[in-house]
Amino acid sequence: MAEVTDADFEAEVLREADRPVLVEFTADWCGPCRQLAPVLSELAREEADRIKILQLDVDRSPEAAIAYRVLSAPTMIVFRKGEPVKQMVGARAKRKLLADLADVL
């Protein structure tokens, strides 16, 4: 799964027009984030034509987290044409995540 930083957030997330972008706001110290990582990696491979999935480390790139009022990790925000359209907080199984994303895919 690819990473995004404050420096390339606009180009990688906000300017993506072909498909929705899911950004996982994560941190190295976050246990649930580590649980979620393989689920997101698998989903990124399987659904690459329908959704772009990126990780943003909130400690190394705090500006985007502050701008989107991310208060806990993991927080996932789905962007469509530069606008946030869905936000989910906490780790979840792949089946649950797919169900939660059904309305934006």
Give the type of residue at 102.
A
Kindly report the number of other CB atoms within 10 A of residue 101's CB atom: 19
Query: What is the sign of the dihedral through the CA atoms of 41, 4, 50 and 36?
Result: positive
Please identify every residue annotated as catalytic. 30, 33
Cα–Cα distance, 99 to 94 (Å, whole number): 9
